[in-house]
């Protein structure tokens, strides 16, 4: 199947740390010419039915999605799941377990911020969390922008929310093996999200890809809002080296905060196998009627 498809397989709604509803995201994706869409909220699939219904109403193809937080050799890595059965109990329970520590972590983050004179951050962040089960650093960042501690969320992360800063709290997420297994046993495909974002040495990155593949992982994001054009090429080569399919997704969170708009990234390079080729039977509704060698970007 062609790599020339306006697929956007990574974005966030109010169900995690995005600011738009699943329905508003679907409409925005459609308006931007997205042909195949997936909503991938952090550690949560509560928005899947709404997203799939909205996509269907707009005549847009849909894959179920999630982005699972994982701790791998001391760093947080994100694993996207696509095309799984959202009713799979192992996956549902695994995600609930992964979300479990967020409440305490948020209180500890607020305590850290209070020590440097920022009061009320827990309540302030919670106000922004559409889903109280899924309070994230992004919600703290919005509160610190609201209270003019910083001018934008990027500055908040840099000064307060990354390792070594007052609002950072060490946290253990799911294991790589568990996340990949939950997704694949639910009939889905596990995909390494935005690999260029991690601060791994070459050896550590090799270990990540090798172990991921060993656990049954099948894909890697190549074209994402977190990569530069030269990183598209680097990870297209990595995908080929490890025999992984390639994915494309904006990681859109909010019209006010995201620099990459839904459905506007370049297409995947022509030399990779797109994830939608392996997921063809899980796309809703089936089939994805598209000519093999189309050259039109679809918008
Ligand atoms: P959490 O899962 O609570 O650790 O929050 C992680 C989320 O914070 C990511 O999914 C991004 O949406 C956001 N994030 C991480 N780093 C940054 C940054 N430097 N600037 C803005 N947002 C960020
Ligand atoms: Mn996020
Ligand atoms: Mn991510
Ligand atoms: Mn994301």
Q: Return the residue whose CA atom lies nearest to atom 16 of ligand 1.
A: 157
Model confidence at 142, pLDDT cuts 50, 70, 90, reads very high
CB atoms within 10 A of CB 227: 21
Domain range holding 66? 7-97+172-282
Predicted confidence at residue 287, as pLDDT, reads: 64
2 CA to centre of ligand 2 in angstroms: 29
The residue whose CB lies within 8 Å of the most ligand 1 atoms, and thus the one to mutate among 20, 105, 122, 136, is 136
CATH code of the domain covering residue 66: 3.20.20.140
Q: Which of 15, 16, 17, 112 to mutate to test the pocket of ligand 1 (most atoms within 8 A of CB)?
A: 17
Cβ-count burial of 35 within 10 angstroms (0-12 exposed, 13-18 middle, 19+ buried)?
buried
Q: Does any domain span residue 153?
A: yes
At 286 the pLDDT is: 67
Q: Residues 179, 80: one domain?
A: yes
Decide: 134 and 99 in contact? Cβ < 8 Å. yes
Give the orientation angle of helix 137-146 with respect to helix 121-128, to 10 degrees.
110
CA-closest candidate to residue 129, choices 111, 161, 104, 102 = 102
Alpha carbons 268 and 89: distance in angstroms, whole number: 33
pTM for the predicted model, two decimal places: 0.95
Count structural domains, the chain. 2
Q: Is residue 291 part of a domain?
A: no
- The answer to the question of residue 1 being in a domain is no
- Is the pLDDT assigned to residue 137 strictly greater than 70? yes
| Assigned domain for 292 exists | no
pLDDT band at 207 (very low <50, low <70, confident <90, very high): very high
> How far, in Å, is the centroid of ligand 3 from the Cα of 294?
30
Q: Is residue 294 pLDDT above 50, yes or no?
A: no
First to last CA, the chain: 19
Q: Are residues 107 and 42 in the same domain?
A: no
SS (H, E, C) 80-113: EEECCCCCCHHHHHHHHHHHCCHHHHHHHHHHHH
- For residue 259, name the pLDDT band (cuts at 50, 70, 90): confident
Which atom from ligand 1 is nearest to the alpha carbon of 154? 20
Same domain, 66 and 195: yes
Instruction: Give percent of the chain with pLDDT exceeding 90.
Output: 94
In terms of domains, do 126 and 271 share one? no
Return the pLDDT at 293.
46
pLDDT value at 95 more than 90: yes
What CATH number does residue 114 fall under?
A: 1.10.150.650
Pocket probe mutation, ligand 1, options 41, 70, 95, 138, max atoms within 8 Å of Cβ: 138
For 164-188, what is the mean pLDDT? 98
Residue 252: phi and psi, rounded to 5, are -65, 135
Give the largest Cα separation in the chain, rounded.
59
Is the C-beta atom of 98 inside 6 A of ligand 1? no
Task: Based on the fold, state whether residues 272 and 184 are members of the same structural domain.
Answer: yes
Residues 20 and 83 in one domain: yes
**CA of residue 17 to ligand 1 center, whole Å:** 9
Nearest residue (CA) to ligand 1, atom 9: 138
Task: For residues 152 and 242, state if they share a domain.
Answer: no
Work out the average pLDDT over 182-206: 98
The answer to whether 80 touches 221, Cβ cutoff 8 Å, is yes
User: Both 228 and 129 in a single domain?
Assistant: no
Reduced to 3 states, what is the DSSP secondary structure of residue 224?
strand
What pLDDT is recorded for position 297? 45
Cβ 69 under 6 angstroms from ligand 1: yes
The reply to whether 113 and 261 lie within a common domain is no
Average pLDDT (57-86) is 98
């Amino acid at each position: 199947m062609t790599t020339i498809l306006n697929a956007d397989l990574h974005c966030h709604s109010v169900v995690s740390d995005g600011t738009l509803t699943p329905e508003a995201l679907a409409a925005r994706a459609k308006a931007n010419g997205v042909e195949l869409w997936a909503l991938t909220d952090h550690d949560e699939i509560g928005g899947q039915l709404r997203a799939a219904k909205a996509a269907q109403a707009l005549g847009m193809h849909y894959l179920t999605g999630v982005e699972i937080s994982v701790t791998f050799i001391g760093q947080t890595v994100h694993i996207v799941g696509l095309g799984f059965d959202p009713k799979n109990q192992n996956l549902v329970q695994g995600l609930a377990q992964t979300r479990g520590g967020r409440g305490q972590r948020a209180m500890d983050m607020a305590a850290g911020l209070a020590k440097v004179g920022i009061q009320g951050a827990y309540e302030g962040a919670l106000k922004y969390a559409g889903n109280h089960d899924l309070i994230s650093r992004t919600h703290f960042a919005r509160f610190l922008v609201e209270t003019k501690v910083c001018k934008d969320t990027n500055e908040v992360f840099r000064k307060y929310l990354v390792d070594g800063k007052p609002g950072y709290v060490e946290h253990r997420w799911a294991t790589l093996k568990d996340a990949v297994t939950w997704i694949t046993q639910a009939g889905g495909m596990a995909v390494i999200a935005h690999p260029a974002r991690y601060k791994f040495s070459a050896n550590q990155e090799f270990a990540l890809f090798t172990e991921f593949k060993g656990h049954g992982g099948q894909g890697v994001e190549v074209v994402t809002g977190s990569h530069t054009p030269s990183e598209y090429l680097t990870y297209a080569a990595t995908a080929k080296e490890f025999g992984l399919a390639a994915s494309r997704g904006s990681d859109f969170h909010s019209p006010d905060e995201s620099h990459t708009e839904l459905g506007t990234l370049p297409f995947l390079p022509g030399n990779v196998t797109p994830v939608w080729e392996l997921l063809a039977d899980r796309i809703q509704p089936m089939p994805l009627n598209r000519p093999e060698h189309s050259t039109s970007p679809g918008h």
